[in-house]
A = this chain, B = another copy of it.
Amino acid sequence: MPHLLILNKEVKTYRAILESAHLPDLVIESEPSPACEIIFGEPSSIRTILEKLPNLRWVQSMWAGVEPLIDPSLRRDYVLTNARGVFGGLMAEFIVGYLLTHERKIFQRMEAQKNKVWDKSLTGTLRGKTIGLLGVGSIGTEVAQTANFFGMTVRGYTKASEACPHVDEYFHGNKLIDFTSGLDYLVSILPNTTETRKIVDANVLNALPPHALFINVGRGSAVDESALLNALNQNRIAGAILDVFEQEPLPKHHPFWDTPNLTMTFHTSAPSLPEDLAEVFIENYRLYVEGKPLKYQVDFEKGY
């Protein structure tokens, strides 16, 4: 009888969904107890009780990013799986939404309406543009497919993987500047690892044409914040849409708040919806009770 601990503010919602799924043998605990062998929750909360569960065997993270559990001082004697496959569609919607906000001059036309100006200025289109994805995992794959659907050319920058059929051209290793040169849109979907830290630096930003947009939906650590501030203040790129930051919530004194052409979205690009996340847990639980390998396993060394 596997005992499960759910660690989330919406524990009642999750409990209801899991109970209605009638999972074999599952016992849902309300408090941490030595019997618990599974946790389903948010990495920041899981971290605090990790040492209290002697029988822990599996942690299903409710987030895609699992940094709080990767700290080498913490135990690693359990299987860690993260939330994958649920954020891709939402991320793709977010990216398309903000690209169209730019191309369609949605803010400009809102101002025109306020001023009662009939603003017929020509709009841009996504068709024919080139988008570059830094990181092409499960989220990047859905973003690439959506970009393809709208007639964009897709470049992918990855460590080695070339698995996504919607990427038109792959780049790796020291080809980062080749990857970046001439992009209309640069999108970072990278996790926080030692290799991705400040990968979007002054060199990368300088390789973008002046009409380019930068979008970050991965982790704030992938960006050299002062290089981005310079690029925006000097109009060397057309704009940035940042969903993630080095420090969240962003401190009130941070210059990002009122940097020109910088749009902030407060880590809302892919909301964690209980129905979606419960589905990931249920899928993995069925594998767990059958003794089969779990999906979406995290490599503690790589950090994703």
Chain A interface residues toward B at CB < 8 A: 89-90, 93-94, 96-98, 100-101, 103-104, 106-107, 109-110, 112-113, 116, 118-123, 125-127, 146, 149-151, 248-250, 252, 257, 263-268, 271
Closest to A252 in B: B116
Chain B residues near A97 (CB-CB < 8 A) = 96-97, 100-101, 103-104, 106
Copies of this chain, complex-wide, total 2
When C-beta atoms are compared, the residue in chain B nearest to A106 turns out to be: B101
Nearest to A105 among chain B residues (CB) is B268
Compute how far the CA of A107 lies from the CA of B265 in the bound complex, rounded to whole angstroms: 11
Inter-chain CA distance A143–B268, complex, in Å, is 27
Known contacts A89-B127, A97-B106: does B271 contact A119 (CB below 8 Å)?
Answer: no
A126 touches B250 (CB 8 A): no
Q: If A97-B97, A268-B120 touch, does A106 touch B109 (CB 8 Å cutoff)?
A: no
User: Is there an interface contact between B93 and A266, defined as CB atoms closer than 8 Å?
Assistant: no
12 A-B residue pairings within 8 Å (CB atoms): A93-B104, A93-B126, A93-B150, A96-B97, A97-B97, A97-B106, A98-B106, A101-B106, A116-B252, A118-B248, A118-B266, A119-B268
Which residue of chain B has its CB nearest to the CB of A117?
Answer: B266
Question: In whole angstroms, how far apart are the Cα atoms of A178 and B160 in the complex?
Answer: 53
Q: In the complex, what residues of B have CB within 8 A of residue A248's CB?
A: 118
A266 to B248, CA, bound (A): 39
Q: Which 4 A-B pairs have the closest CB atoms?
A: A97-B100, A118-B249, A113-B264, A97-B104
A149 to chain B, nearest CB (A): 6
- 20 new A-B contacts at CB < 8 Å, known A96-B97, A123-B268: A93-B104, A93-B125, A93-B126, A93-B127, A94-B100, A97-B101, A98-B104, A98-B106, A104-B265, A106-B106, A112-B266, A116-B257, A118-B248, A118-B250, A118-B266, A120-B267, A120-B268, A122-B268, A122-B271, A123-B271
Partner of A109, one of B120, B257, B264: B264
Tell me the minimal C-beta distance from A185 to chain B in angstroms: 14
